[in-house]
Amino acid sequence: MKKYFLFIMSVIIMGITSVYAAPIKIAASLPDLASVASYIGGDKVEVFSIAKSNSNPHFVEVLPSYMIKVSRAAVYLKVGLALDQWSDAIIDGSRNSKLYAVDCSAGIPVLQKPTGKVDASMGDVHPEGNPHYWLDPSNGIIIANNILAALKKVDSANSSYYEKNYENFTNDAEKRIDVWKSKMSKLAGQKIICYHSSWVYFASAFGLNIAGNVEPLPGIPPTGKHLSELISTIKSNSIKILLQETYFPDQSPKFLNRQTGIKVYKFDPSCNGTMPEDYWKHFEEIVNQISK
């Protein structure tokens, strides 16, 4: 009888241990948020992203499979600033009453926040400001701090572990940013052209000036007249760089290249993966290519 009792107790203890040892499941709208969460959470978390690196983050199809995955998560990381409103449908559909949703834009110095009334005549303008803030690596530290606060809330027992990882992330960020700014210093003050307004934070971080966009208004395809005006802008300012998101059509950038010789750089606006180093690798790729 005593042996049977000890056996039952060992099973119960093993069950309790396994529950607490299970990783914290974190869902994220974008791979960038997921990658930062992987860094802060370390081996205490299991992270996945809804959107892919090469997909337009403004438009993501809401699938039942996403809802099922989120139903098992403890934390959901949102971009906020009205970029990933589709995530609300996923969260609602998950019926996960214990899910802790985090707006990772909290504390971000928001750029291009419109004043006055915003309507459809302005294109796809976000009333709360430009939401592509993760493309400034300094904002990665703010994102990490928001994730740290969430993990300490849902898993307070491991707070010191997460705090240490956040400290490492911050130190890592500062060292990397110094290297990237050094590489980009020869381009500081130069004018560039972008396809969409994704690159505002990146340009601000590295001292680049956006002289125009292929889209005349956010989300509006270019007209012949607008492209003609861009050609004049490119030639008169000797602009060498056009940044294009991979999911936009090539026709207009190629036309501008033929007419002016401007070099077109195509990048995903998000990192390609959810591992701790993937957020940094994304900047490394962009900086190394355009700083040449």
Q: Tell me what pLDDT residue 235 has.
A: 97
Q: Tell me what pLDDT residue 124 has.
A: 62
Cβ(48)–Cβ(85) under 8 Å? no
CA distance 169 to 258: 43
- Where a domain ends, among 125, 148, 180? 180
- Where a domain ends, among 180, 195, 217? 180
B/e letters for 49-78, b = 16+ CB within 10 Å, e = fewer, are bbbebebbbbebeeeeebbebbbebbbbbb
Cβ(94)–Cβ(62) under 8 Å? no
CA distance 53 to 60: 12
Q: Tell me what pLDDT residue 113 has.
A: 86
Smallest CA-to-CA distance from 285 within 169, 170, 135 is with 135
Is residue 193 in a domain? Answer: yes
Write out the residue range of the structural domain in which residue 279 sits.
186-290
The verdict on 175 and 214 lying in the same domain is no
Is residue 12 in a domain? Answer: no
The verdict on 251 and 203 lying in the same domain is yes
The verdict on 56 and 165 lying in the same domain is yes
Q: Tell me what pLDDT residue 20 has.
A: 43
CA distance 152 to 100: 12
pLDDT in tens, the chain (292 residues): 444 444 444 444 444 443 446 899 999 999 999 999 999 999 999 999 999 998 899 989 999 999 999 999 999 999 999 999 999 999 999 999 999 999 999 999 999 987 766 655 555 666 789 999 999 999 999 999 999 999 999 999 999 999 999 999 999 999 999 999 999 999 999 999 999 999 999 999 999 999 999 999 888 899 999 999 999 999 999 999 999 999 999 999 999 999 999 999 999 999 999 999 999 999 999 999 999 8
CA distance 108 to 74: 24
State whether residue 108 is helix, strand or coil: coil
The verdict on 201 and 216 lying in the same domain is yes
End-to-end CA distance of the chain, in Å? 76
The verdict on 157 and 201 lying in the same domain is no
Q: Tell me what pLDDT residue 118 has.
A: 63
Is residue 2 in a domain? Answer: no
Cβ(207)–Cβ(187) under 8 Å? yes
Cβ(169)–Cβ(144) under 8 Å? yes
How many residues in the chain?
292
The verdict on 133 and 254 lying in the same domain is no
Is residue 191 in a domain? Answer: yes
Q: Residue 196 has which token pair?
A: 């969409």
The verdict on 202 and 134 lying in the same domain is no
Total H helices, total E strands in the chain: 10, 8
The verdict on 63 and 161 lying in the same domain is yes
Is residue 11 in a domain? Answer: no
Q: Tell me what pLDDT residue 119 has.
A: 58
CA distance 36 to 279: 7
Is residue 108 in a domain? Answer: yes
What domain count does the chain have? 2
Cβ(100)–Cβ(45) under 8 Å? no
Residue with tokens 């008169």: 236
The verdict on 134 and 28 lying in the same domain is yes
The verdict on 144 and 158 lying in the same domain is yes
Using N-to-C axis directions, what is the helix angle for 278-290 and 137-154, rounded to 10°? 180
CATH of the domain at 30: 3.40.50.1980
The verdict on 175 and 50 lying in the same domain is yes
Residue with tokens 């809401």: 62
The verdict on 142 and 39 lying in the same domain is yes
- Where a domain ends, among 180, 205, 235? 180
Kindly report whether the global pTM for this prediction surpasses the value 0.85. yes
Q: What is the DSSP letter of 262?
A: P
Is residue 164 in a domain? Answer: yes
Is residue 16 in a domain? Answer: no
